[in-house]
């Protein structure tokens, strides 16, 4: 009787566990999204049916022994029932209990289903493991193909690629994938930048619009200093090429890809090597403020989204950010002073006064810092002049 109790207990625990798992999977997952989710749900559901039927069969077979057409002693049959319920069925020629027969058929069918569904589930899990754990040359090549993330700043980030082709294919692929992404309905038309637009009956803008810029770093741009970031541990790049790439990335409109002349020349010459067909057009010339150097700017547009060209502006200027780079410039905080709709006149007045006080305090602090810095500069210059005659006499 000990083994029978142990078998019923363990099978009952399996029944409860698989039932809870199946219920949670059905409640939490959208089974139509992935075949792996569907396989998991079917596997645990079949296991639950098998465990449930087997537990009921054991309980019925132990509590309610069946009469056998084989003439054996009642004590022998009772002993077999008490050891493990399903052993007694092997000694029956005919079973007259429909409940036991139904439980056996359902349990064995579920067990057979488990065996069938195990093969596709194991295959899918093997594919997932290969994709996530592969560290071979193929996986490393795929990582290199899609670039190396250098740094992030707010909602912007920079990537480094080995070739112009990899960078161009990445940007073109991202623009196409953004068009095919499933965006929430509340996003469409929320602001002008997320408005869906069509041209000649074809959708050219959908969802968020991401601007991109590509620049090819060469020795003619000056040295490119490589360093390791103290926090992230990633490689960082510093130099004129990085400055140009950053500026080019901030020039475009949402959904626009801007490139410099070397990148445009390569794309025009080797356009057949790029996986996604695209067009290259000159936009104009832009002077990078930090290095005071002119740069020719071109735009790259996928052929499937060629109607976007009419929507992009032809004036090259850096897009202003929400947070001003130089708070001391006049008019930098106009976005903060504006009162959002929905406030009463009294609340709006209080809010404007608060912003005005903060602005005056900030200007006073900056004025004090500038005076302090100018005094230190004058002191440094005076010391330098007083030291020069002494050194000259030596």
- Quickly count: other Cβ atoms within 10 Å of residue 7's Cβ: 18
pLDDT of 252 over the 80 cut:
yes
Q: Is residue 381 part of a domain?
A: no
Q: Is residue 83 part of a domain?
A: yes
Same structural domain for residues 171 and 54? no
Cα separation of 179 and 196, whole Å?
10
Lowest mean pLDDT segment, chosen from 11-25, 52-66, 188-202, 295-309: 52-66
Alpha helices by DSSP H, 29-157: 35-63, 74-83, 98-133, 137-145
Same structural domain for residues 106 and 199? no
Structure-model confidence comparison of residues 381 and 77, the more confident one: 77
Residue with tokens 């810029």: 213
DSSP 289-320: TTTTEEEEEEEEEEGGGGGGGGGS-S---PPP
Same structural domain for residues 129 and 162? no
3-state secondary structure of 159: strand
Structure-model confidence comparison of residues 353 and 321, the more confident one: 353
Q: How confident is the model at residue 373 (pLDDT cuts 50, 70, 90)?
A: very low
3-state secondary structure of 141: helix
pLDDT of 384 over the 90 cut:
no
Alpha helices by DSSP H, 217-344: 240-251, 261-269, 334-337
Q: How confident is the model at residue 354 (pLDDT cuts 50, 70, 90)?
A: low
Same structural domain for residues 216 and 85? no
Last residue of a domain, one of 311, 332, 353: 311
pLDDT digits (tens, 9 = 90+) for 139-155: 555 555 667 788 776 67
Counted domains in the chain = 2
Domain that holds residue 163: 147-311
Same structural domain for residues 35 and 91? yes
pLDDT digits (tens, 9 = 90+) for 263-281: 999 999 998 899 889 999 9
Share of the chain above pLDDT 70, in %: 63
Q: Kindly report the CATH number assigned to the domain that includes residue 191.
A: 3.30.70.1230
pLDDT given at position 64 = 65
* DSSP character at residue 339: P
pLDDT of 363 over the 80 cut:
no
pLDDT given at position 224 = 83
Q: Is residue 364 part of a domain?
A: no
- Distance between start and end Cα atoms, the chain: 110
Structure-model confidence comparison of residues 375 and 42, the more confident one: 42
Same structural domain for residues 47 and 113? yes
Q: Is residue 337 part of a domain?
A: no
Q: Is residue 18 part of a domain?
A: yes
Same structural domain for residues 102 and 153? no
Same structural domain for residues 46 and 172? no
Same structural domain for residues 67 and 185? no
Same structural domain for residues 299 and 153? yes
Q: Is residue 362 part of a domain?
A: no
Last residue of a domain, one of 285, 311, 337: 311
Same structural domain for residues 22 and 165? no
Last residue of a domain, one of 261, 279, 311: 311
Averaged pLDDT of the chain? 72
Same structural domain for residues 158 and 303? yes
């Amino acid at each position: 009787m000990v083994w029978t109790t142990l078998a019923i207990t363990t099978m009952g625990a399996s029944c409860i566990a698989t039932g809870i798992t199946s219920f949670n999977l059905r409640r939490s997952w959208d089974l139509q999204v992935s075949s792996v989710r569907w396989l998991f749900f079917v596997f645990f559901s079949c296991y639950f049916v098998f465990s449930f039927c087997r537990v009921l069969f054991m309980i019925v077979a132990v509590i309610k022994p069946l009469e056998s057409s084989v003439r054996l002693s009642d004590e022998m049959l009772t002993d077999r029932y008490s050891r493990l319920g399903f052993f007694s069925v092997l000694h029956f020629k005919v079973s007259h209990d429909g409940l036991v027969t139904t439980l056996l058929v359902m349990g064995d069918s579920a067990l057979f289903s488990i065996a069938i569904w195990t093969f596709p589930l194991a295959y899918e899990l093997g594919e997932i493991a290969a994709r996530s754990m592969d560290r071979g040359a193929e996986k490393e090549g795929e990582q290199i193909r899609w670039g190396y993330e250098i740094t992030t700043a707010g909602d912007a980030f920079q990537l480094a690629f080995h070739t112009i082709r990899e960078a161009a294919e990445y940007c073109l692929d991202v623009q196409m994938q953004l068009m095919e992404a499933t965006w929430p309905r509340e996003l469409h038309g929320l602001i002008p930048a997320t408005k869906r637009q069509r041209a000649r009956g074809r959708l050219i803008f959908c969802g968020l619009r991401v601007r991109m810029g590509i620049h090819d770093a060469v020795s003619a741009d000056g040295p490119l200093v490589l360093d390791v970031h103290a926090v992230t541990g990633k490689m960082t790049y510093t130099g004129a090429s990085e400055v140009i790439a950053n500026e080019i990335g901030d020039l475009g409109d949402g959904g626009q890809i801007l490139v410099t002349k070397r990148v445009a020349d390569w794309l025009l010459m080797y356009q057949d090597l790029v996986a996604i067909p695209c067009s290259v057009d000159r936009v104009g010339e832009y002077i990078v403020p930090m290095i005071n150097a002119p740069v020719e700017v071109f735009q790259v547009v996928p052929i499937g989204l060629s109607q976007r060209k009419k929507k992009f502006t032809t004036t090259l200027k850096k897009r202003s950010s929400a947070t001003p780079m130089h708070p001391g410039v006049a008019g930098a905080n106009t976005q903060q002073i504006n009162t959002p709709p929905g406030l009463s006149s009294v609340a709006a007045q209080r809010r404007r006064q608060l912003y005005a006080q903060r602005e005056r305090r900030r200007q006073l602090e900056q004025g004090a810092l500038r005076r302090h810095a100018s005094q230190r500069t004058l002191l440094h210059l005076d010391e330098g002049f007083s030291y020069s005659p002494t050194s000259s006499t030596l």
